Amino acid sequence: MQADYVIVGAGSAGCAMAYRLTEAGRSVIVVEHGGTDAGPFIQMPAALSYPMNMKRYDWGYRSEPEPHLGGRRLATPRGKVVGGSSSINGMVYVRGHARDYDTWAEMGADGWSYADVLPYFRRMETWHSGGHGGDAAWRGTNGPLHVSRGPRKNPLFQAFVDAGRQAGYEVTDDYNGEKQEGFGPMEQTVFKGRRWSAANAYLKPALKRDTCTLVRGLVEKVVVTDGRANGVQVRRGGKSETISANCEVVLAAGSINSPKLLMLSGIGPAAHLAEHGITPLADRPGVGANLQDHLELYIQMAASQPVSLYKYWNLFGKALIGAQWLFTGTGLGASNQFESAAFIRSRAGVEYPDIQYHFLPIAVRYDGQAAAEGHGFQAHVGPMRSASRGAVTLASADPAAAPRIVFNYMSHPQDWEDFRTCIRLTREIFGQDAFKPFVKHEIQPGADVQSDAALDDFIRDHAESAYHPCGTCRMGRADDPGAVVDPQLRVIGVDGLRLADSSIFPQITNGNLNGPSIMIGEKAADHILGRDPLPAANDRPWIHPEWQTAQR
């Protein structure tokens, strides 16, 4: 059991690396603890609430009681399946804002500015506008990852964009192109009516090559000899064995399991490792620190006419949608139903958007429970750049044990102000003329919830994770004591070991993290192969000309 490269985790970044490394003629073994992604629950886009809540596909992690959210323990789904979290996520495709990556570079991630990463976003995409406009010049045309737009047939999708315009906001034809800021169509990793996960895009084509092997097992630790990683210890069929890497070991186990694995391997905060009887090989205090996420709320409205998806929210309706999808790959089952979006700024003086909207034409929760009110719609909204930071630490030295996850959500006073702003701005959007034909009343928070104190109570009880954890092995300069990997994604302090997934983000990006995670896998492959990075792009992204003095 040996190959040039051993990749731990068949998730968003791991699949992309397996594809690019084998394309270059290298041999790769990908180790994944989860099983197959076959079956309608994963492959049918509209069924997205199922795999996220199925033990079979999810690690089942939960946060510790969150001190600022009334002691609630929040679900932290992570994909335990081929494709990783790209097989259980909401399939929303967002590159992030140009300024996100420029900030990374300012924080010490040299070579990761927007000009540096845009060519990789282009390389990975095949973009389908579906006749809905967009910025073709900014997009990719022949990459493995298909990105499309929903049909946007429901009148509520257009009402949301029109309401944003009426409220004085920008509209954008392509938030993944020149201009993120504004209201417009949302994009999804869906192709020919199927979830286009990293497994479908990258791993399955890679496995057709003789040089790519997929091994099922639980990686217990990285094997390090004389300061160099030369393999991984894997538990399969009740016994441990070593899989050897001739060149390098690459961790791509995600923002929760990658730091856990480093710590189990003796790489992390020395005192914490010693507490668990683990011999420290490299004292890296940044391992597991800097945990970030997006928190969001649903602002739900009852509809005055039967325009929402509620009419299908019964056994017969779901069976009908499922049957149409199974036999034709079309219909409501072929979309994640997130077909309109917005990115706006919370106040004047904020340079680029710090609030994201997902609009959904039904009032429903992520766990699939519909609102009691019947027909309705909702906007998921939350701040993008919270100052709150948490940590992933070991609960035990047992590789099979879940780590301890504390997000420390809402620990910064600005978080509360930002969330109240999100709610009030959303109410204003739902109050525009475009929604007049559709709005009956506000379900949640409810029209009587107006004061700061009342809104804070609502936030404390109802804020949910958007499932975008990242940052726990952040990238920085090699002399930065808090950094875990250098800009070539080499783990600082150990030779022959790299790490490429969302844990390397110095700061969370705007929007959903699947796109940026795949980009990291794409760019990492060039670093691993010792290639010159793709030439930097010269495209100039749009920034609101009056951002210093105007909120919209």
The annotation places the binding site for FAD at 81, 89-92, 219
Active-site residue identified among 33, 68, 468, 544: 468
- DSSP bridge pairs for 219: 234
Q: Is 468 in the active site?
A: yes
Neighbours of 538 (CB within 10 A): 7
Q: CA-to-CA distance for 114 and 104, rounded, in angstroms?
A: 9
The DSSP H or E segment spanning 424 is helix 413-430
Whether the Cβ atoms of residue 15 and residue 198 lie closer than 8 Å to each other = yes
Q: Are strands 218-225 and 61-62 parallel, antiparallel or unpaired?
A: unpaired
φ and ψ of 283, to 5 deg: -85, 100
Q: CA-to-CA distance for 56 and 261, rounded, in angstroms?
A: 21
Whether the Cβ atoms of residue 515 and residue 90 lie closer than 8 Å to each other = no
Task: Name the burial class of residue 64, with classes exposed (0-12), middle (13-18) and buried (19+) by CB atoms within 10 angstroms of its CB.
Answer: middle
Query: Could you give the count of Cα atoms lying within 13 Å of 444 in the half-sphere of its Cβ?
Result: 23
Task: Name the burial class of residue 224, with classes exposed (0-12), middle (13-18) and buried (19+) by CB atoms within 10 angstroms of its CB.
Answer: buried
Annotated binding site: 81, 89-92, 219
What is the token pair recorded at 439?
Answer: 């709005």
Rounded to the nearest 10°, the torsion over CA 518, 524, 525, 529 is: 180
Whether the Cβ atoms of residue 503 and residue 290 lie closer than 8 Å to each other = no
Q: CA-to-CA distance for 147 and 191, rounded, in angstroms?
A: 7
Q: CA-to-CA distance for 132 and 35, rounded, in angstroms?
A: 37
Neighbours of 326 (CB within 10 A): 12
Q: Smallest Cα–Cα separation from 75: which of 62, 85, 88, 84? A: 62
Question: In Å, how far are 54, 266, 489 from 493, measured between CA atoms?
Answer: 38, 11, 12
Secondary structure letter of residue 528 according to DSSP: H
Question: In Å, how far are 37, 72, 193, 421 from 502, measured between CA atoms?
Answer: 21, 25, 27, 28
Catalytic residues: 468
